[in-house]
Structure formats: structure tokens, C-alpha cells
Amino acid sequence: MRQVIVVIVLGIALTIAIVISIHHEKKEALLVLHAGSLAAPFGELEKEFEKIYGVDVQREAAGSKATIRKVTELGKKADVVASADYTLIENMMISSAPKYANFCIQFARNKIVIAYTNKSAYKNEINESNWYKILARKNVRFGFSNPNDDPCGYRALMVVQLAEIYYGNDTIFDELIEENTAITATQENGSYIIHVPSSAELGIDVAKIAMRSAEIDLMASLETGDIDYLFIYRSVA
């Protein structure tokens, strides 16, 4: 019989999903593939679940798209898949042919923030009104995850594009993204469309922007001062 994968998006209901899987297949080990941004909460859930059920929970963290591709392209047999964007589950695992999951559970939300440290340039100047001006300065380096692999990456791009509307400034995306990458944005029928090339063709100006597959992979760069600012989920910052 074909394995059914229980998919969880973003929250803390891992226990419910794992109970379903274990009672169904009587496994002694449970493989959980999850988004990197979920590493901390799932680490806590792992301890509690193992204590209660005596099951060896094995976890692998990566960007959400990369996580799903482990199942859909590499053929990995997972019991639980947790993504930071539920639409990836619906499009890549449920609506796909073949079908890799029967349902997903949405039960939490998050926010994109800009993280910085006491080593960051202009740390005493940046605020909610001028952050895009600070990031545009020549001696400032910032980072975000690869939008081809990770929802935090394409959500960072969405934040920058929406900032043009919020601040009434139509040069923000150009100055921060288009001038430093091959990523572009166009307006079509009243909607903004962000065009992201393949990972090999992103054309990143590494002197200005740092990019990794998952946003958590950039935390060390922020802490050491290699980058000044990082687009990241509030739950991880």
C-alpha cells in the first residue's frame, strides 16, 4: 500500500500528526523533514514526543522547497513534512501527479523582520521608516535566503516590493534587488510579478548581498558581522 505522508505547516501540532502515523504503521523511528525556520520548535517537540511515546524522532532541516523535493524528486520516505508555506504542500505534494500527500494542516502564522546586531552598520539609525535607505547604503551588506529553495527568500522579495507601495517610493526594489541581482519585478494588470531566475543564474553581487539555501544558514554571518542585516522570520530572530 502506498505510504501516506502527513504534512504539517508551521506550527506545534506535530504530536497529532505523529500519533496518526505511528498508530498506522507501528514504527519505532519517525522521520521528520522540516523547514529550517522550524528547527527550534521541532527540537522541543522531538524531546517531548520521544519522552511520551518512546519513539526515535529523526529530523532533517532545509529550505521548505528543498525539503519537499527530498520526497518528490529524491524519493525519500518521510513520515512528516513541515513547510513554512502551505501552498508549497498543496502545489508540490497534493495537487501533483503522482500525489505525495492527502492533506495538510495550517495552524500558525509568522512575520518577516529585519534582524541586526550591535555589530551592524548604522544600527543606531535604522528604524521602521528608513530601513530601506539604510540597506541601500554602499557599505551595508544584507542577506536573505534563496527564493528558489525557501519561502523566507521569496517573502523577503515581497516585503521589498510591497514597501514601494507603503512608502510611496517606486525605486526601493530597483535599488535593493534589481541593481544587485538578476531578479526583476514587473507590474501586470495591477499586480506585481517577481521574476526569479534559476539558482545558477541569480547573478548575486556578493559584495552587497549574501544568499544561502535557508535563512538559518545566514544567522552565523549576521552574528559574526559578515552581513549587517538579515531578512528572517520573527520566530527565529
What mean pLDDT comes out for the span 33-51? 92
The more confidently predicted of residues 1 and 98 is 98
- What SS3 class is residue 25? helix
Determine the pLDDT at residue 25.
53
Q: What is the pLDDT of residues 80-90, one digit of tens each?
A: 999 999 899 99
Closest CA to 111 of 156, 66, 177, 157: 156
- What SS3 class is residue 81? strand
CA atoms of 219 and 225, how far apart (whole Å): 10
Name residue, grid cell 502527513. Answer: 6
HEC-encoded secondary structure of 167-193: HCCCCHHHHHHHCCCCCEEEEECCEEE
Give percent of the chain above pLDDT 70: 89
Contact indicator for 150, 61 with CB cutoff of 8 Å: no
Q: What is the pLDDT of residues 152-171, one digit of tens each?
A: 999 999 999 999 999 999 99
CATH of domain 5-106: 3.40.190.10
With a CB cutoff of 8 Å and minimum separation 6, the contacts of 98 are none
CA atoms of 20 and 16, how far apart (whole Å): 7
Determine the pLDDT at residue 11.
31
Given pLDDT bands bounded at 50, 70 and 90, which one contains residue 126? Answer: very high
User: Phi/psi at 51 (nearest 5 deg)?
Assistant: -65, -40
On the question of pLDDT at 6 being above 50, the answer is no
Q: Which three cell numbers stand for residue 214?
A: 535557508
Q: Which CATH architecture has domain 112-233?
A: 3-Layer(aba) Sandwich (3.40)
- Does 112-233 match 5-106 at the fold level? yes
On the question of pLDDT at 2 being above 90, the answer is no
> What number of H helices and E strands is found in the chain?
8, 11
What mean pLDDT comes out for the span 24-50? 86
Given pLDDT bands bounded at 50, 70 and 90, which one contains residue 4? Answer: very low
- What SS3 class is residue 134? helix
What mean pLDDT comes out for the span 59-66? 92
Q: What is the pLDDT of residues 128-145, one digit of tens each?
A: 999 999 999 999 999 999
On the question of pLDDT at 14 being above 60, the answer is no
Q: Which three cell numbers stand for residue 190?
A: 495591477
CA atoms of 45 and 113, how far apart (whole Å): 25
Q: What is the pLDDT of residues 201-222, one digit of tens each?
A: 999 999 999 999 988 899 999 9
DSSP 38: G
What mean pLDDT comes out for the span 118-135? 96
DSSP 201: G
The residues spanned by each domain of the chain are: 5-106, 112-233
Q: Write down the mean pLDDT value for the chain.
A: 87
With a CB cutoff of 8 Å and minimum separation 6, the contacts of 53 are 18, 19, 22
On the question of pLDDT at 9 being above 70, the answer is no
Closest CA to 152 of 67, 43, 49, 231: 231
Q: What is the pLDDT of residues 171-202, one digit of tens each?
A: 999 999 999 999 999 998 889 999 999 999 99
Counted residue by residue, the chain has a size of: 237
On the question of pLDDT at 17 being above 60, the answer is no
Determine the pLDDT at residue 79.
93
- Could you tell me the sign of the dihedral formed by the alpha carbons of 202, 205, 211, 213, in that order? positive
